Every structure is written in C-alpha cells, then in structure tokens.
Amino acid sequence: MKNRLRYWLRKDRTWYLMTFVLLAVLCYLFPYTGDDWSWGSSVGIDRINAGFVDYGGRYFGYIIVLVLTRLCVLKALVMAGTFFGIGGI
C-alpha cells in the first residue's frame, strides 16, 4: 500500500513540475501588451523619477510592475505560479 502511495505522489509531483515548467516557458514567450509596453520602456523610468505624479497612488504596485517588466525570468515565474495556482492543479 505504501509503495502505491509513493508511486502516485511521485507521479503527481512530476506532473506538477512539468506543468509549471511548461507554463513558465510559455509565459516567458508571452509578449507585453497594453501598459506593460510603456512600463517596460524609458517611460516607466521617467514615471518613477517623477515620483508617479498624476497616478493613483499605488506606488508599491507600480514598482512591482517596473520590476516584472524588466526581469523576464521573474515575470515568467510569477505568471506561471499565478496560472498554476488559479488552475488548482
């Protein structure tokens, strides 16, 4: 009985890992859209240098977006983790 349980746990873990890696690769290849184009360009740096003037005051969120648009691997891992978590896999 224990061997069967170990087999299924190991099989599921492999499935989860393969799914997460596939999602991470796909997320790495996803192009930026909408606001992400501007946040990832020099416009985003100009916004942070200006102190996010005329923006809604979500400073922490803006900084997170700036980091994620500049570090593609981190963006892919965060997106894959989010998709993986929402999917309930």
pLDDT tens sequence across 63-78: 898 899 889 999 999 9
Q: Give mean pLDDT, residues 46-61.
A: 83
Q: In sequence order, what are the residues at sequence separation of 6 or more whose Cβ sits closer than 8 angstroms to the Cβ of residue 80?
A: 20, 23, 24, 26, 27
Q: What is the largest CA-CA distance in the chain?
A: 64
pTM of the model: 0.73
